[in-house]
Amino acid sequence: MERKDVLVPEADLARQRDFQENIRRMFEGRQAHPRACVDTFGCQQNVADGQKLMGMLQACGFTLTDEPKEADLVILNTCAIREHAEDRVFGNLGILTHTKKEDPEQVIALCGCMAQEARVVKRIRESYRHVDLVFGPQALWKFPELLWQVYETHGRVFSVADEHGTIAEGIPVVREKGVKAWVSIMYGCNNFCSYCIVPYVRGRERSRDPQAVLAEVRALVEAGYKDITLLGQNVNSYGNDLDTGYHFPDLLADIDQIPGEYLIRFMSSHPKDATRHLFDVMAASRHIARQLHLPVQSGNDRVLHEMNRRYTRQQYLDLVDYAKRVMPGLVLTSDIIIGFPGETEAEAMDTVSLVEEVGFDALFTFIYSPRPGTKAAAMPDPVSREEKQKWFDKLLEVQNAISAKLHAAYVGKTQRVLVDGESGDADYPLTARTEGNRLVRLKGDKALMGQFIDVTITGSNTWALYGEAV
Ligand code: 5AD
Ligand code: SF4
């Protein structure tokens, strides 16, 4: 696909701004402040998409509310990664039949990854007739036009074609107030891990222009954001589609030159594309956090092969070894799937032993969930849920002990942290993050919010550190 087909032309974006204006004018004639509720499920990429939706909604004249009952427009921004996430969305859709009964004018929309699944769209068409608008991640930038169609036609609108993914620059964004911000640097995924639905719903990889990313990060730093996370399904393949020889480590090195007091994080990284050069760039930088989320998924070579991960246990261990060597104190986290089709107990225990060997600071752990349409969903899966749960519990037990031990080693030490929130706990009213993104519950004054400060770590458990300002 040509690069010019990937970038949405400015003329098309201008048309969307016209639709925003149409909607704004329509409401001016009808009522003071239409309200919209955006309910986002799933990963940070989806959170970032939700922030763009909110930006477009504000441009259409909506104010935002968290309460579906009082909203003129409710949008469920959905996740398809596991069955549980989908079940929750269908549960919420069920509840919305009641709000719509009370307010028949209410518009209900469903977007995000589920909206790009033919199976889901069929079910919505047939059994959830109160849903007015359905659009997939590829159509996000056209949201103003789609919403206008709903108001104009009073009919149902579906924009769920399997169109190729695009990049739309300059969509307005409503960010969380405070110190943290998310920046998508690329969209889509080319990897087709055999269990994963993402490549089917988010299309092929496409990287934003480096200058657009740099300008966005610079503006965020200037606006006072201090903890900025670069997002992509696999940031390590950033730039491959640009054909300019410019890759993720180059982007990191250029971002690092932006003056200011801030930290850069990124996720996710695919181990097959993580290089020693990347770790060298991180180690030499001033602003890139010594933190790495490097999903391993399994510690067994046969399972890794069946997952189509394209690295071995040993290659992963060597990579991590190098990263730790050039970045002492590196905080390392990972994703693990237990119970992949055909996995045996011995193979699951290989994953547990890898976890022990690496000593991750924390893990995101999942029991395998079949996703219709993926390769793994067609594989025989004879092991019972109960048996998988036992393996899973073993993994958690091992990891919790490791996390507790690593956290205990912080006690008595001084750490530079970024104060990022309030906890509601009278004894430790503030929350903060270490450079490695470990949570610190903090004694101290609210005035410290948004600042980097030195704290003494006074206590710890499996999930958090406790501290006091020095
Ligand atoms: N079942 C369970 N976990 C999954 N993940 C992705 N697909 C599935 C699935 N079908 C997990 C992987 C991935 C994380 C975002 O979600 O561990 O890294
Ligand atoms: Fe899914 Fe693999 Fe792509 Fe991650 S890299 S989104 S797990 S296919």
- Give the model's pLDDT for residue 4: 65
Residue 389 within any structural domain of the chain: yes
Residue 166 within any structural domain of the chain: no
Tell me which residue range forms the domain holding 47: 3-159
- Is the same domain home to 306 and 234? yes
DSSP state string for 254-291: HHHTS-SS-EEEEE---GGG--HHHHHHHHH-SSB-SE
Point out the ligand nearest to the CA of residue 189: 2
- Is the same domain home to 216 and 151? no
Question: Atom 16 of ligand 1 has which residue's CA nearest to it?
Answer: 81
- Give the model's pLDDT for residue 2: 67
Q: Give the residue from 406, 426, 443 where a domain finishes.
A: 406
The enclosing domain of 137 has a CATH number of: 3.40.50.12160
At residue 162 the predicted structure's pLDDT band, cuts being 50, 70 and 90, is confident
* Best residue among 87, 337, 340 to mutate for probing ligand 1, ranked by most atoms within 8 Å of CB: 337
Q: What pTM does this model have? A: 0.96
- Is the same domain home to 100 and 203? no
Residues of the chain with pLDDT > 90, as a percent, come to 95
- Is the same domain home to 363 and 224? yes
- Is the same domain home to 366 and 429? no
- Contact call for residues 25 and 31 (beta carbons, < 8 A): no
Residue 398 within any structural domain of the chain: yes
Residue 304 alpha carbon to ligand 2 centre in Å: 13
Is the pLDDT at 193 greater than 70? The verdict is: yes
Domain count, the chain: 3
**Residue 248 or 177, more confident:** 248
Residue 458 within any structural domain of the chain: yes
Q: List, in sequence order, every residue forming a beta bridge with 76; answer none if it has no partner.
A: 39, 110
Q: Which atom of ligand 2 is nearest to the CA of 197?
A: 1
Is the pLDDT at 3 greater than 80? The verdict is: no
Tokens of residue 273, six digits: 């594309």
State if residue 184 touches ligand 2 by the CB under 6 angstroms criterion. Answer: no
- Give the model's pLDDT for residue 167: 96
pLDDT of 95-124, one tens digit each?
999 999 999 999 999 999 999 999 999 999
Q: Residue 277, Cβ neighbours under 10 Å: how many?
A: 12
- Is the same domain home to 235 and 359? yes
DSSP state string for 307-353: TT----HHHHHHHHHHHHHHSTT-EEEEEEEE--TT--HHHHHHHHH
Residue 172 within any structural domain of the chain: no
Residue 186 within any structural domain of the chain: yes
- Give the model's pLDDT for residue 178: 84
Burial 19-57 (b: 16+ CB within 10 A, else e): bbebbbeebeeeeeebbbbbbbbbbebbebbbbbbbebb
Q: Give the residue from 406, 424, 444 where a domain finishes.
A: 406
**Segment 59-72 mean pLDDT:** 96
Tell me the three state secondary structure of residue 133.
Answer: strand
* Best residue among 233, 335, 379 to mutate for probing ligand 1, ranked by most atoms within 8 Å of CB: 335
pLDDT of 354-373, one tens digit each?
999 999 999 999 999 999 99
The enclosing domain of 395 has a CATH number of: 3.80.30.20
Question: Atom 7 of ligand 1 has which residue's CA nearest to it?
Answer: 196
Residue 233 alpha carbon to ligand 2 centre in Å: 6
Q: Which atom of ligand 2 is nearest to the CA of 234?
A: 5
Q: Give the residue from 406, 440, 458 where a domain finishes.
A: 406
Burial 425-448 (b: 16+ CB within 10 A, else e): eeebbbbbbbbbbbbbbbbbeeeb
- Contact call for residues 34 and 62 (beta carbons, < 8 A): yes
Point out the ligand nearest to the CA of residue 335: 1
Residues in the ligand 1 pocket, defined by CB under 6 Å: 81-82, 195-196, 295, 297, 335, 337, 366, 368-369, 371
pLDDT of 382-424, one tens digit each?
999 999 999 999 999 999 999 999 999 999 999 999 999 999 8
pLDDT of 8-51, one tens digit each?
999 999 999 999 999 999 999 776 689 999 999 999 999 999 99
- Give the model's pLDDT for residue 201: 95
- Give the model's pLDDT for residue 93: 96
- Give the model's pLDDT for residue 285: 98
* Best residue among 196, 306, 351 to mutate for probing ligand 1, ranked by most atoms within 8 Å of CB: 196
Residue 142 alpha carbon to ligand 1 centre in Å: 29
Question: Atom 5 of ligand 2 has which residue's CA nearest to it?
Answer: 191
State if residue 191 touches ligand 2 by the CB under 6 angstroms criterion. Answer: yes
DSSP state string for 178-193: SSEEEEE-EE------
- Is the same domain home to 347 and 464? no
Residue 173 within any structural domain of the chain: no
Residue 82 alpha carbon to ligand 1 centre in Å: 7
State if residue 236 touches ligand 2 by the CB under 6 angstroms criterion. Answer: no
Tokens of residue 206, six digits: 């496409």
Distance (Å, whole) CA 192 – CA 184 = 20
- Is the same domain home to 326 and 274? yes
The enclosing domain of 447 has a CATH number of: 2.40.50.140
pLDDT of 369-389, one tens digit each?
999 999 999 999 999 999 999
At residue 164 the predicted structure's pLDDT band, cuts being 50, 70 and 90, is confident
- Is the same domain home to 127 and 226? no
Alpha helices of 160-247 — where are they, by DSSP H?
A: 198-202, 210-222
Q: List, in sequence order, every residue forming a beta bridge with 467; answer none if it has no partner.
A: 442, 457
Residues 6+ apart with CB under 8 A from 159: 134, 135, 136, 139, 142, 146
- Is the same domain home to 250 and 330? yes
- Is the same domain home to 360 and 388? yes
- Give the model's pLDDT for residue 31: 66
Is the pLDDT at 252 greater than 90? The verdict is: yes
Is the pLDDT at 89 greater than 70? The verdict is: yes
Is the pLDDT at 1 greater than 60? The verdict is: no
- Is the same domain home to 243 and 334? yes
